[in-house]
Amino acid sequence: MEPMQRDRLLLRRRFLQLSGFSSLSLLLSGCGIRLFEEVVGQAFEPLNQRLEELLLNPQQPVPEFSSSAIEPEALIINSYRFTPKIDTVKFRLLVEGDVDNPLSLSMADIQEMPHTSMIIRHVCVEGWAAIVQWGGLQLRDIVALAKPKSNVRYVYFESADGYYESWDIASALHPQTLMAYEKNGQPLPVENGAPLRLASPIKLGYKQSKWVTRIVLVEKLLPIKGYWEDQGYEWFAGL
Ligand SMILES: Nc1nc2c(c(=O)[nH]1)N[C@H]1C(S)=C(S)[C@@H](COP(=O)(O)O)O[C@H]1N2
Ligand SMILES: [Mo]
């Protein structure tokens, strides 16, 4: 086995031991966090934007492209593991953490919420980009519905393939940060993250989790920050 590959496997195993994909929940809920912090120390980025202000005053949108600029073939499928099989009818998006109104939303619930679309450039650190139209709903609408407590500063995303990500609250509440279920005017293909994925013009590709099943709103960033970040990639990854 290549050393790189072995390191990745070890890291992955360590992640599974520390948190697991099933017990990331434990870490993210209450006492788990405290225990974990005692062992490895606190780790959070110096970002303290006020949640209420961000919810009330949406940030400036970034300019979008015209529909003639869409590059239908340019979006390279980039999955670190496998394409998970998700039953769209049984699918629920869970929204939990420091919220007064935890959510369990079906795709029908999600598609009833205000729809929006945008034409933006997707940029992957591996050196390719694609102008894509994404359709879905603003993540800020989901967050608002969950009634976040005022201490919330970060958002974790868990995916059905074991991928995980964390974002600063300001980027998550940006008006062009979408939970997308459409690509280029069509239902989102499963390889691109159906039924629901993140899409945003303000972050690099690896921040844009596909197959998102759970969103956790938290006050502090854990030492476990994201699949690529935990292997040395930059956490903020802004564009
Ligand atoms: N769940 C999950 N989300 C993911 C990834 C992944 O492997 N698993 N890859 C990321 C990377 S590196 C990129 S560039 C984009 C690619 O999206 P696409 O496969 O729809 O082109 O998805 C991101 N989201
Ligand atoms: Mo990427």
Which residues, other chains included, contact 157 with Cβ-Cβ below 8 Å and sequence gap of 6+? 164, 165, 166, 167, 198, 209, 212, 214, 215
pLDDT at 38 over 60: no
Residues of the chain with pLDDT > 70, as a percent, come to 79
Are 141 and 113 in contact by the 8 Å Cβ rule? The answer is yes
Q: Which residue, by CA, sits nearest to atom 9 of ligand 1?
A: 79
pLDDT at 62 over 60: yes
Angle formed at CA 16 by CA 11 and CA 21, multiple of 5 degrees:
130
Ligand 1 atom having least distance to the Cα of 75:
21
Domains recognised in the chain with CATH numbers:
1-55 (no CATH), 64-231 (3.90.420.10)
pLDDT at 19 over 80: no
pLDDT at 239 over 60: yes
Return left, alpha or beta for 195; rule: phi > 0 is left, psi -120 to 50 is alpha, else beta.
alpha
Least confident of 19-33, 90-104, 206-220: 19-33
Output the pLDDT for position 41: 39
Nearest to 149 by CA among 58, 45, 219: 219
Distance CA 223, CA 24 (A): 12
Ligand 1: lining residues by beta carbon, under 6 Å: 75-80, 124, 159, 161, 163, 192-193, 205-206, 208-211
Output the pLDDT for position 6: 47
Q: Tens of pLDDT along 149-200? A: 999 999 999 999 999 999 999 999 999 999 999 999 999 999 999 999 999 9
Q: Best of 78, 132, 227 to mutate for ligand 1, by most ligand atoms within 8 A of CB?
A: 78
pLDDT at 15 over 70: no
pLDDT at 30 over 90: no
Greater confidence, 32 or 237? Answer: 237
Least confident of 35-49, 79-93, 187-201: 35-49
The structure tokens listed for 111 are: 């598609």
Q: What's the mean pLDDT when you consider all of the chain?
A: 87
Are 91 and 107 in contact by the 8 Å Cβ rule? The answer is yes
Ligand 1 atom having least distance to the Cα of 77:
19
| 204 alpha carbon – ligand 2 mean position (Å) | 7
pLDDT at 54 over 90: yes
Output the pLDDT for position 47: 60
SS3 for the chain is CCHHHHHHHHHHHHHHHHCCCCCHHHHHCCHHHHHHHHHHCCCCCCCCCCHHHHHHCCCCCCCCCCHHHCCCCCCCCCCCCCCCCCCCCCCCEEEEECECCCEEECHHHHHHCCCEEEEEEEEECCCEEEEEEEEEEEHHHHHHHCCECCCCCEEEEEECCCCEEEEEHHHHCCCCCEEEEEECCEECCHHHCCCCEEECCCECHHHCCCCEEEEEEECCCCCCCCCCHHHCCCCCCEC
Ligand 1 atom having least distance to the Cα of 192:
20
| 91 alpha carbon – ligand 1 mean position (Å) | 20
Protein residues with C-beta less than 5 angstroms from the ion ligand 2: 78, 124, 205-206
Residues of the chain with pLDDT > 90, as a percent, come to 79
pTM listed for this prediction = 0.84
Distance CA 73, CA 56 (A): 38
Ligand 1 atom having least distance to the Cα of 161:
1
Output the pLDDT for position 26: 45
Rg (CA), the chain: 17
pLDDT at 233 over 80: yes
Distance CA 58, CA 173 (A): 8
Instruction: Label residue 5 by pLDDT band (50, 70, 90).
Output: low
